[in-house]
Structure 1
Amino acid sequence: MTNQQGKANRNVPLIWNQSMDRVLINAFVHQQNIGNRVNGSFTSKALENVVKEVSEKFPGVKLDKEKVKDRIKYIKRGFAACYDLFKNLSGFNWKEDLSMWQAEPDVWDDLIKKHPQAAAWRNKPIPNYHNLCILYGADRATLEEAETAREMRDRIRSEQEESRTNTIEEIDHMVLNDEVRLEGYDTPPNVEGRKGAKRKLTLAEEVTAVKKSFQTAADAIAKAAADMVKIQAAADTVKSQEKSPVSKSEIWKLLEELDLNMVELHKAYIFLIKNPEMLDGILSCPSSDLSERKDLLFEMMK
């Protein structure tokens, strides 16, 4: 085989099927459970293990890290679109045996009117949905919270800047049109005339004094806004640094002991990862009765 032929074979795209996708996603879940995912990213060792595991199940397939990374990114994009659409909707139920979201026809019709892209999921299965929730559900929630906080800071800064600009322009307009007379804003001393009489400030002097006063106030507002942004950033940092009292694999084992079905287990796992204080409550429960711990978990998830 010539070098050109070898290169051409390496560039032949890999055709993935549902069985391969299922094994791939399960392999990534396993690597996450054993701690080979750090700060949301899979380690190089995790990728090597995934390549090995999928290759063992499909020995005729030529895999490497790049092909594995490209495929899971593609699957994640499709999952993210579906997850963001259905996560907070009422009237929809997940059918595990069909791997589909189900609802009454009028509920589907209303959703499709608001979000036409939802029509694609009306009669289409979503394979491996719960395992993808385990991999990326918490990431979607974290991303949403981060974007919300960032948008809030941008909005506050924009509103304060707009308020400062509009206020100064409105005062300038009223003074220039002699609609108001302003006194006591650090005006320059009056100049005495020939007979000791004090002359009035010129219009230009009044406008300058008003601008100076409002600029001082605007600077104070800007400083307060900057301080608020720093406080929010510090709060975001603290929240991002919150850690679960146990590892993710230990959380999984804890839930398996509660004899949950697969749907309940997946939902509870995502819930406890996102809520470390709730996990601490479960771990601190004085009762050794597993049924009581299970009931407590369901109450928390409500």
Structure 2
Amino acid sequence: MGPCAFAKLCEILRGIGCLKDTRNASIEEQVAKFLYILAHNERIRTVSFFFRRSNEIISRHFHNVLRAVIYLEDQFLLQPNGAEVPQQIRNSHRFYPYFKDCVEAIDGTHIRVKVSAKDAPRYRGRKEYTTQNVLAACDFDMRFTYVLPGWEGTASDSRIIKNALSRKDKLIIPRGKYYLVDAGFMLRSGLMAPYRGVRYHLKEYSARGPKIVEELFNHRHSSLRNVIERTFGVLKKRFPIISGMTEPFFPVDTVTEIILACCILHNYLMGVDPDERLIAEVDQEISNEDIHNEARNSRNDSDADARRGAILRTSIATRMWNDYSLKMSKTLKKTTDSESKATNMRWTDDMDGFLLNVMLEEQSNRNRPNGIWTSHAFSNMSKKCSESFGYTVEKGNIKNRIKTLKGTFHTCYDLFKNMSGFAWNPITGLFEAEDEVWEPLIEANSNAKKWKRTPIHHYEKLFDLFSKDRANGEGSISAKEKVRQWEKDKEDSVNLEENIDCFGEFSMPNVDSYSPRVSPSYSCETSSKKAKKTPEMVEMLEKQMEIFQSGIDNVAASIRQGNEIAKEGLAIMMQGHEIAKEGLAIMERGRPRCYSEDEVFSELVKIGIPTEHQLDAMLFLIKDPTKMRAFFGVPTTELR
């Protein structure tokens, strides 16, 4: 960020009133600290050393600027209305008129977070570490228009976008328009996904161009949708705090806010300081990346909107292919590429049951720490399944089957969770309910109809294994929703301050010895001319000070009274102690004394018992305690 861009940003933040100069730190200094942490991914204590401020001040300034930047969402996160065709599409014969109804591109990216060991399984998806899956839409000028962070790393892109389309601050798809998405999303009339099972990434076409209609569509689809990947790349290059491979220093809620702030700042910089060198670096890195064909495809849906999306995609691809063939003056035979996937083995219900039992056994043996199966666990599963099935079962077979079982369970779990009236039958494997219970569910979700006759076996075992790993999206929040939340908290705080009586009706006993200190008078009973000039805020503060002083006086009186009561209690305790000592002395005097053999022998020597009779006399007295007490009760002069 250059000096001019920095100065303008500070001016904008000062203008909205969410950030103010303090006695010791200007807005410019606070923003500089904030940007330094974002750009260098430094700890608070490191920045405090550079700026010669305490950790508390640096942290407070960081969060103040963070909140102020998010308040800019209504200026820099603007969703499209679809009124105009994007210039990048209109000016390219490769994209126009085929993608004239395309407004933007959507994708998700994983950003590392720090969570507790209890929550880690929900955040550890296809990465080795805990992440949150951030959904974002951007225009073809590489500016974000919608950002939804907070979803756990195990959540699929399709699930997140379904949530984004139904939130209060929802993703808006203009009527008759669509977004470009990758194969991880479902195909809809408003979400244009590529063909599956066909080359897609641009690098795959470097050696051989498209040969069939699906490949041509995917190639141009990828070329246009690539803008979201470039935008994510520039975002993470600008702000290493969200791209570092090390565990973040901030909790997950703060990381969510940081992501929103970084996207807003990125949009601001793309308008005033785009940094073409940084964009060129990202483009070079993307072109050099290896192709990772990760299995993250969404499920095939068969509802009406999915069919409309398929029809729209086919019409675009067909028109594109016809024009391409005519231009190239080639006649190519159209072929269809089946999407069937070869499988190495076929699983039965009994085999699934055996595998689940082995998985539960390995889990009980602590071979699944933090929700991750260890290599030893997979080896044991492979060995036991091979011995039971009679042929070799590889680790890859186990992993693929676990993924299938987990996906099936999550579909049913999301559908029937918290639904009353449904019960799973362990014999048939079906979710059973009355027809009047099924009807509203099917009406709300057409995919629920198939589960009326499709069994899901071993549901209880699946629940024990996978229910805790399911992402719930409780932490997801958009910038607009965050601002609304802050505004609501602020209103609740103001209402609370207005309604609290601040000890006004709290009566305390008066203490004669207490004389409250005289506080300065805040009365407004001056001349009428001066009273008119007193602002309402000053009057409110004066009233609050009077109430506060009254509360302090009452508390002081209570403390003084408590001290007097404590003194009286201490005197009573001392008196009781003296009485207890006297009682103990009386008990000691009334208790019979026990004399030792030494005392008896010494007394016999004193009274002059002959030496040859001393032992016999001592033994005689010791045998009878009564005679021994009588012996000691007689004066020594009489014994002689």
What is the TM-score when the length of structure 2 is the normalising length? 0.22
Pair member with larger Rg: 2
User: Which is helix-richer, 1 or 2?
Assistant: 1
- Higher relative CO (Cα under 8 Å, sequence separation at least 6) belongs to 1
What is the TM-score when the length of structure 1 is the normalising length? 0.45
